[in-house]
Chains A and B, each alone.
Chain A
Amino acid sequence: MLSYIARRISVAIPLLLCITFITFAMMHLAPGGLSGVFVGARVRREEDRMAIIRHYGLDQPFPVRYARWLGRMFRGDFGHSLVYRRPVLEMVVERIPATLQLTIPAMLVSVLVAIPIGILSAIRQYSIADMLSTFFAFLFVSTPSFFLGLVAILVLSVHLGWLPISGMSTLGLQDPSWWVAFVDRLRHLVIPAGIVLGLGFTAGLIRYVRASMLEVIHQDYIRTAQSKGLRGYVVVWKHALRNSLLPVVTILGLWVPFILSGAMIAETISAWPGMGRLAVSAVFARDYPVVMATLLMVAAMTVLGNLLADLAYAILDPRIRYG
């Protein structure tokens, strides 16, 4: 097990290095990329231009620039934001908790809702419940998440006034107790996490759990268990569930990038101060050091998600004992 973990991590590290290279190359080689932004159109005098180019090391060959940048990054120096003049790392790190507060509850609720529905759908294949769940899964997989968010805000917030329109918390709550603050945060989470992120994710997951469960319940050992006279629910919940949930664990890891993309939309709709919104505003402001840092951060989170899913798979599946 330990050596398996070590091997998986040793694969992840070169992948992360390649990610840093791609990100750097994209930013520096693209027309209109970093070099142009640093110098800027307002710098007229040739000496000034050269001074800036030298200051940022832009006169060095590409590999040297990459190596220097990588070295600075390992020391935690991601550069300064061109707009806010603040260390980039600080700006990105302070946004991570908000994104996690959005994505983790969304994933948890989706998993809790999707697994029972998906299983029910599979064991009662072609029943009315199955058709309904398949139909709704299709519906929500096909709806652009921002559209769901718009409709939800229009109906639930603007017309009914049940939920806050945007933001993370109500302004001007005087010294709220933790309980009041918690409920307030939950109310702010319903639209971005529950509806914008959660519905599409739940729908995709239902389809996945259903397919995975269908595959398992047609296998021989399930028939064996049934013919031994075990009750239906024992077969389903003990024999089939465990094996059908294995691929679900993997898919949760693989879906980390989709969730982060979805979070960008949710954060934009609900003015949620997370990384996605930081990335969007940085792209608009051409604040490339911030854009690079967010790209690196989300890619690293994706790699980490895949790694955790692999490890969970190895722990859960006794058939796999990696030497």
Chain B
Amino acid sequence: MAVIKKKSTFLAIFWRQFSRNRMALAGGMLVVFFTVIAILAPFLAPHDPRTPNIRNRMQPPSEEHLLGTDALGRDMLSRTIHGARISLLIAVLAVALSITIGILLGSLAGYYGGLFDSLLMRFVDLVLSFPTLYLLITLVALVGPSIFMLVLVMGGLGWTGTARIVRAEFLRLREQEFSEAARAIGAGNLRIMFRHLLPNAMAPIIVATTLGVPGVILGESALSFLGLGVLPPEMSWGTLVNAGLPFFRTAWWLPIFPGLAIFLCVLGFNFLGDGLRDALDPRLKR
């Protein structure tokens, strides 16, 4: 009977690497925590996040309102919980968009090279010459701030890093023997690209995806902080910070708790992404 050594499977090796990294585990837990909150927001929030209660306005944190109440007496805990939805939704959609564009363009450029490759890379240089926040506020002002447009603009701008990574991977992989073997048995270009090369390029793509989420969360919160992101009555964490700003000298809890939520969520994704990088990328092992 063949003894299958568990440790030899890819997932097992990955898990052994990953679970040894305490920061990565903590990051993973934070990510799961915020994802669950975002999905179950209506069931977890103790109060309705939109119902004003003027008598109860500007209450500091208490047993009834753990994170206090805002200028209209709305429960900040419930608002922060619902804020997770919008912030994470925008982040996930924008990253999905940018990763898709990045994979498509990067693999075409890396596989075919030539004029398309040089044009694309010059275009990436061009996009990267603009400080992101300047470009974002300009575009958002032109198309109007809405959740859909935020996703479109941030996803449409964020693909450059992924494209570069995928291109570099494809440049390396297409010269390797297995891709030559695939070509020898008559596989077409598309098949080689997406069945043979892409799976081998997945590790850096997964890392880029994980690290892309905090980038978008920070970008969205910076835009919302400037008043150009998600607009009330919709609430993202950035919007909540922005709404609390005028009162922050007297009611410090208004901007601080949503800001803390941004911080913890971003920290979680950063820890997770870094741990994934260490566990997935054998070239970084020392």
Residues of A within 8 A of B (CB): 15, 18-19, 22, 26-27, 30-33, 135, 138-139, 141-147, 150-151, 154, 158, 214, 218, 256-258, 260-261, 264-265, 268, 276, 279-280, 283-284, 286, 291, 294-295, 298-299, 302-303, 306
Q: Is the CB of B125 within 8 A of A142?
A: no
Task: Please give, as numbers and ranges, the residues of chain B lying within 8 Å of A283 by CB-CB distance.
Answer: 137-138, 141, 228
Q: How far is the CA of A18 from the CA of B214 in the complex (A)?
A: 30
Q: How far is the CA of A73 from the CA of B156 in the complex (A)?
A: 29
Nearest Cβ on chain B to A18's Cβ, whole angstroms: 5
Q: How far is the CA of A89 from the CA of B126 in the complex (A)?
A: 23
17 cross-chain CB contacts under 8 A: A15-B122, A19-B129, A144-B238, A144-B241, A146-B222, A147-B256, A150-B245, A158-B249, A214-B286, A264-B131, A264-B137, A265-B225, A268-B226, A280-B228, A295-B138, A299-B130, A302-B131
Please tell me which stretch of B41-49, B91-99, B259-267 contacts chain A, meaning at least 4 of its Cβ atoms lie within 8 angstroms of it.
Answer: B259-267
The answer to the question of B142 belonging to the interface, with a C-beta cut-off of 8 Å to chain A, is: yes
The answer to the question of B128 belonging to the interface, with a C-beta cut-off of 8 Å to chain A, is: yes
The answer to the question of B83 belonging to the interface, with a C-beta cut-off of 8 Å to chain A, is: no
Dominant SS among interface residues on chain A: helix
Q: Is the CB of B129 within 8 A of A15?
A: yes
Q: Is the CB of A26 within 8 A of B218?
A: no
Give 1 or 0 for each of B217-238: 1 = CB within 8 Å of chain A CB. 0100110011110000000001
With A15-B126, A151-B259 already in contact, 20 other A-B pairs whose C-beta atoms are closer than 8 Å? A26-B138, A30-B142, A31-B142, A138-B271, A144-B241, A147-B255, A147-B260, A147-B262, A150-B259, A158-B249, A268-B226, A276-B134, A279-B138, A283-B138, A283-B228, A291-B138, A298-B134, A299-B129, A299-B131, A302-B131
Nearest Cβ on chain A to B259's Cβ, whole angstroms: 4
Output the nearest chain B residue to A207 by Cβ-Cβ distance. Answer: B274
Q: Which of B130, B218, B221, B255 contacts A257 (CB 8 A)?
A: B130
Q: Is the CB of B259 within 8 A of A144?
A: yes
Residues of B within 8 A of A (CB): 23, 122, 125-126, 128-135, 137-139, 141-144, 214, 218, 221-222, 225-228, 238, 241, 245, 248-249, 252, 255-256, 259-260, 262-263, 266-267, 270-271, 274, 286
Nearest Cβ on chain A to B106's Cβ, whole angstroms: 19
Q: Is the CB of A142 within 8 A of B266?
A: yes
Task: Please give, as numbers and ranges, the residues of chain B lying within 8 Å of A306 by CB-CB distance.
Answer: 129
Output the nearest chain A residue to B125 by Cβ-Cβ distance. Answer: A15
A-B complex: 4 closest residue pairs judged by Cβ atoms: A261-B133, A147-B259, A257-B131, A142-B267
Q: Is the CB of A19 within 8 A of B241?
A: no
Task: Please give, as numbers and ranges, the residues of chain B lying within 8 Å of A26 by CB-CB distance.
Answer: 138-139, 142
Task: Please give, as numbers and ranges, the residues of chain B lying within 8 Å of A154 by CB-CB distance.
Answer: 248-249, 252, 256
Dominant SS among interface residues on chain B: helix
Task: Please give, as numbers and ranges, the residues of chain B lying within 8 Å of A264 by CB-CB distance.
Answer: 131, 133-134, 137, 226
Output the nearest chain B residue to A280 by Cβ-Cβ distance. Answer: B226
Q: How far is the CA of A69 from the CA of B226 in the complex (A)?
A: 30
Nearest Cβ on chain B to A26's Cβ, whole angstroms: 7
Q: How far is the CA of A112 from the CA of B179 in the complex (A)?
A: 47
Nearest Cβ on chain B to A161's Cβ, whole angstroms: 12
Q: Which of B125, B222, B255, B266 contacts A265 (CB 8 A)?
A: B222
Task: Please give, as numbers and ranges, the residues of chain A lying within 8 Å of B134 by CB-CB distance.
Answer: 260-261, 264, 276, 279, 294-295, 298
Task: Please give, as numbers and ranges, the residues of chain B lying within 8 Å of A147 by CB-CB distance.
Answer: 241, 255-256, 259-260, 262-263
A15-B126, A142-B266 given as contacts; is B141 within 8 A of A298 (CB)?
A: no
Q: Is the CB of B241 within 8 A of A258?
A: no
Task: Please give, as numbers and ranges, the residues of chain B lying within 8 Å of A261 by CB-CB distance.
Answer: 131-134, 222
Q: Which of B122, B141, B256, B270 contacts A286 (CB 8 A)?
A: B141
Task: Please give, as numbers and ranges, the residues of chain B lying within 8 Å of A31 by CB-CB distance.
Answer: 142-143
Nearest Cβ on chain A to B213's Cβ, whole angstroms: 12
Task: Please give, as numbers and ranges, the residues of chain A lying within 8 Å of B228 by CB-CB distance.
Answer: 280, 283
A138-B271, A158-B249, A268-B226 given as contacts; is B266 within 8 A of A144 (CB)?
A: yes
Nearest Cβ on chain B to A32's Cβ, whole angstroms: 6
Q: Is the CB of A144 within 8 A of B262?
A: yes
Q: How far is the CA of A242 from the CA of B213 in the complex (A)?
A: 35
Output the nearest chain A residue to B126 by Cβ-Cβ distance. Answer: A18
Nearest Cβ on chain B to A125's Cβ, whole angstroms: 9
Q: Which of B126, B142, B221, B252 contacts A19 (CB 8 A)?
A: B126
Q: How far is the CA of A201 from the CA of B271 in the complex (A)?
A: 18
Output the nearest chain A residue to B262 by Cβ-Cβ distance. Answer: A144
Q: Is the CB of A138 within 8 A of B126?
A: no
A31-B143, A261-B134, A265-B225 given as contacts; is B259 within 8 A of A142 (CB)?
A: no
Output the nearest chain A residue to B244 by Cβ-Cβ distance. Answer: A150
Output the nearest chain B residue to A134 by Cβ-Cβ distance. Answer: B23
Q: Is the CB of A150 within 8 A of B129?
A: no
